[in-house]
Amino acid sequence: MLYKLGENWIDPGEIAAVQKPPAPGADIYLRNGTRLFAAVTRDELEAFFLAAGLIPDEDDGITIDEADTEELYDLHDQGYRYLARDIDGKLYAYAERPRKNAGYWEAAPKDAVRPKKMNPAACLFVEEKDEEPFDIASLY
């Protein structure tokens, strides 16, 4: 899909780098070596990146309540590094990065620590539809 930035139509997947010079505008470097200049403001550049999905929307962040935060710190202290929720709603903590298989998470073969079954009402920000496990270290 192409997105308009200034006078240019750009495929976001082809962007290799962006440089914001001191003057208004931006230099866009594409993977094929082409350099484009877009006479845009910082707000217009940010809106382009948001629309193209190249930067996350600040509202997409998760909110972790105090009880869950304490639980996650305790899990980390016990050697657990990931949380994942199965398709049936069960929540588990893993020491090694698990893999998803048909809606269920599997412990890594090298994981010597058995997954810990968690209260399914905890950490509701971890959802069944997630394709990646939650990295507990992201709290630090």
The full DSSP string for 36-62 is: EEE---HHHHHHHHHHTTSS--GGG--
What is the pLDDT at residue 43?
83
What is the pLDDT at residue 6?
86
- 11, 37, 60: which is the final residue of a domain? 60
Are 82 and 109 in contact by the 8 Å Cβ rule? The answer is: no
What is the pLDDT at residue 116?
96
**70 and 124 housed in the same domain:** yes
Are 92 and 115 in contact by the 8 Å Cβ rule? The answer is: yes
137 has pLDDT over 80: yes
Q: Phi then psi for 20, rounded to 5 degrees? A: -100, 100
Please state whether the predicted TM-score (pTM) of the whole model is above 0.75: no
Long-range contacts for 90-99 (Cβ within 8 Å, ≥24 apart)?
A: 90/117, 90/120, 91/117, 91/118, 91/119, 91/120, 91/122, 91/123, 91/126, 92/116, 92/117, 92/118, 93/118, 93/136, 94/133, 97/133, 98/133
Tell me how many domains the chain contains: 2
**70 and 37 housed in the same domain:** no
Place of tokens 């931006």: 26
What is the pLDDT at residue 128?
94
Are 105 and 89 in contact by the 8 Å Cβ rule? The answer is: no
Q: Mean pLDDT over all residues of the chain?
A: 87
What is the pLDDT at residue 140?
67
**82 and 35 housed in the same domain:** no
Give me the mean pLDDT over the 106-123 stretch.
Answer: 90
The boundaries of the domain holding residue 95 are 66-139
Q: How far apart are CA 105 and CA 103, in angstroms?
A: 7
**51 and 85 housed in the same domain:** no
**52 and 87 housed in the same domain:** no
Dump pLDDT digits (tens) for 9-66.
999 889 888 887 667 788 889 989 999 988 888 788 888 888 888 776 655 466 788 8
What is the pLDDT at residue 58?
59
Dump pLDDT digits (tens) for 64-105.
888 888 899 999 999 999 999 999 999 999 999 999 999 999
